[in-house]
Chains A and B, each alone.
Chain A
């Protein structure tokens, strides 16, 4: 299967965007998941709803909301631009769009596994003199690793499939913001592009399967550690 430069660009960009959005989103996702799972505070329902909003909104709406908050002429956007960070029409914007779309999935998966950690163990750690941070780093976090892995894989897969928010926020520019789904869509709109669309389709499947396999290996290893 000889892939054209344009196809390779789209595949490479997709993987890059996926990895970056997981890398940038994972720590905030863990923090938010822990906050929602273990803390009680005013406005918790609001935070929960905001995180989950991209899951229920049409992705195009999310993309549009990103334009009006981070666009070049908005206060936040111009501030970032003066700091040298530009999102409009480049791959970083695609990362932002993917991150916002995949964050609820990551938070959900991680939150469930944090909630499954026996609070009795955290209490036991406290009686042994461990403070909050130590308990989180040595008990809660390691015991949530399976959820964190599946959250990361879900986030990566979601980024790989991101279409609506990306195309709205950063448009469909080959070599810059044209990720795999965007390229695939373009081919289906081009006469004689069916063959290339089919090939990208196969590549998508391969990447997704590979990600699943990798996550299985990690999850098995994490579970195996406790049964030595």
Chain B
């Protein structure tokens, strides 16, 4: 779907990345502020010209510095959703939606229905809420029949409730409209919720690229504070309405998560901070913690500051951060069987 190699030097800062994604779903480009995410997405859209490299989207060569190919922005067919929506303030919603040069009028009705904006057609953008503006912006981009949808932190200017609402729409885009999405964010929550493929960048370089499950030193995010976290996918089994607890199945058994509302999709992705995981040699009884996993230690990693990261296998990969003192006291070593405890309230999803 997308295959790029990009170099751009700004003097004090430079971007040098190479990645590809075959995902027909949502590819998330994550990294802390100032890591070069927006620079990368702007180069893909054509708004910024790389010094060197190439850009393929759906096997269409859009840029190649060697062959001196540089397809102009207006011919790239990349739908771009900006942070602030960028609706044209002097046009009503209908005219905004149909602004694209190749706008497909015949799909207008279907598109606005799926995005829930059919009642807004005659409104001016100043009369829309933040979430409505972004949905119109998405509709506008979709109607020009793009090859890919580029989204640059589209939820950044919205409040929490609107974010959740818009995420459900974004999550369904690849399936409903048959279009791959390239999504830039620094929010752990959005990464967990939306990514089918995760590319992490920092300081203008790719840190990792692959399926989102696994362990990360910070999820490229500022709200993870660079903490070590483990991510795994699970399938929702039940939702306890009274206590707001989701039970979900994963390779290693059942996991319980505290959630105010039932998740919108059955597939959920959960993250656990290594510092929230407790290790016990015996199976604890009469304890408030209900997520108790049996696992095997894979290896121990000293992280400095007298603390140790214990990487374990519980069917999925889970890391626990304990003090060196505790690791010595419990005699933790690779191959040892242990119990890993995570409180229901510490589950991030």
- Over the window 135-177 of chain A, the binary record of Cβ atoms lying under 8 Å from chain B Cβ atoms (1 yes, 0 no) is 0001100110000000000000000000000000000000000
How far apart sit A123 and B76, CA to CA, in the bound complex (Å)? Answer: 13
Task: Determine whether A221 belongs to the interface, using a CB cutoff of 8 Å to chain B.
Answer: no
How far apart sit A134 and B74, CA to CA, in the bound complex (Å)? Answer: 11
If over half of B's interface residues share one DSSP class (helix, strand or loop), that class is named, otherwise mixed; here it is loop
Q: Is the CB of B79 within 8 A of A228?
A: no
Task: Determine whether A226 belongs to the interface, using a CB cutoff of 8 Å to chain B.
Answer: yes
Q: In the complex, what residues of B have CB within 8 A of residue A123's CB?
A: 47, 73, 86
Q: Is the CB of A226 within 8 A of B89?
A: yes
Task: Determine whether B134 belongs to the interface, using a CB cutoff of 8 Å to chain A.
Answer: no
Q: In the complex, what residues of B have CB within 8 A of residue A121's CB?
A: 86, 88-89
Q: Is the CB of B86 within 8 A of A129?
A: no
Apart from the given pairs A125-B99, A127-B73, A134-B101, 9 other A-B contacts in the complex at a CB distance below 8 Å: A121-B88, A123-B47, A124-B80, A125-B88, A126-B73, A127-B141, A128-B100, A128-B144, A138-B99
Q: Which of B47, B102, B127 contacts A127 (CB 8 A)?
A: B47
If over half of A's interface residues share one DSSP class (helix, strand or loop), that class is named, otherwise mixed; here it is helix
- Over the window 88-128 of chain A, the binary record of Cβ atoms lying under 8 Å from chain B Cβ atoms (1 yes, 0 no) is 00000000000000000000000000000010110111111
Q: In the complex, what residues of B have CB within 8 A of residue A40's CB?
A: none
Q: Which residue of B lies closest to A118 (CB)?
A: B86
Q: Is the CB of A130 within 8 A of B45?
A: no
How far apart sit A226 and B45, CA to CA, in the bound complex (Å)? Answer: 29
Task: Determine whether B239 belongs to the interface, using a CB cutoff of 8 Å to chain A.
Answer: no
Q: Which of A128, A131, A225 contacts B99 (CB 8 A)?
A: A128
Interface centre among A118, A128, A131, A142 (most CB of B within 10 A): A128
List residues of chain A with CB under 8 Å of any chain B CB: 118, 120-121, 123-131, 134, 138-139, 142-143, 225-228
A-B contact pairs, 30 of them (CB 8 A): A118-B86, A120-B82, A120-B84, A120-B86, A124-B80, A124-B86, A124-B88, A125-B88, A125-B99, A127-B46, A127-B73, A127-B78, A127-B80, A128-B99, A128-B140, A128-B141, A129-B74, A129-B75, A129-B77, A129-B100, A129-B102, A131-B74, A134-B101, A138-B88, A139-B88, A225-B90, A226-B90, A227-B126, A227-B127, A228-B92
Q: Which residue of B lies closest to A132 (CB)?
A: B74
How far apart sit A227 and B125, CA to CA, in the bound complex (Å)? Answer: 8
Q: Is the CB of A228 within 8 A of B101?
A: no
Q: In the complex, what residues of B have CB within 8 A of residue A228's CB?
A: 92, 123-124, 127
Interface centre among B78, B79, B82 (most CB of A within 10 A): B82
- Residues of chain B from 147 to 192 with CB closer than 8 A to chain A in the complex: none
- Over the window 100-118 of chain B, the binary record of Cβ atoms lying under 8 Å from chain A Cβ atoms (1 yes, 0 no) is 1110000000000000000
How far apart sit A142 and B77, CA to CA, in the bound complex (Å)? Answer: 25
How far apart sit A139 and B74, CA to CA, in the bound complex (Å)? Answer: 15
Minimum Cβ distance to chain A for residue B33 (Å): 19
How far apart sit A178 and B71, CA to CA, in the bound complex (Å)? Answer: 58
Interface size on B, residues (CB 8 A): 29
How far apart sit A228 and B89, CA to CA, in the bound complex (Å)? Answer: 11
How far apart sit A130 and B126, CA to CA, in the bound complex (Å)? Answer: 23
Q: In the complex, what residues of A have CB within 8 A of residue B89's CB?
A: 121, 143, 226
Q: In the complex, what residues of A have CB within 8 A of residue B124's CB?
A: 225-228
How far apart sit A33 and B277, CA to CA, in the bound complex (Å)? Answer: 63
How far apart sit A121 and B47, CA to CA, in the bound complex (Å)? Answer: 12
Q: Which residue of B lies closest to A123 (CB)?
A: B47
Q: Is the CB of A126 within 8 A of B47?
A: yes
Minimum Cβ distance to chain B for residue A220 (Å): 15
Minimum Cβ distance to chain B for residue A123 (Å): 5
How far apart sit A143 and B45, CA to CA, in the bound complex (Å)? Answer: 25
Q: In the complex, what residues of B have CB within 8 A of residue A227's CB?
A: 124, 126-127
How far apart sit A138 and B74, CA to CA, in the bound complex (Å)? Answer: 15
Q: In the complex, what residues of A have CB within 8 A of residue B45's CB?
A: 127
How far apart sit A228 and B93, CA to CA, in the bound complex (Å)? Answer: 12
How far apart sit A151 and B48, CA to CA, in the bound complex (Å)? Answer: 34
Minimum Cβ distance to chain A for residue B104 (Å): 12
How far apart sit A128 and B149, CA to CA, in the bound complex (Å)? Answer: 11
Q: In the complex, what residues of A have CB within 8 A of residue B90's CB?
A: 142-143, 225-226
How far apart sit A226 and B126, CA to CA, in the bound complex (Å)? Answer: 7
Q: Which 5 A-B pairs have the closest CB atoms?
A: A129-B101, A124-B86, A127-B80, A128-B100, A126-B73
Minimum Cβ distance to chain A for residue B189 (Å): 26
Q: In the complex, what residues of B have CB within 8 A of residue A129's CB?
A: 74-75, 77, 100-102, 144
Q: In the complex, what residues of B have CB within 8 A of residue A120's CB?
A: 82, 84, 86
Minimum Cβ distance to chain B for residue A34 (Å): 17
Q: In the complex, what residues of A have CB within 8 A of residue B47's CB?
A: 123, 126-127
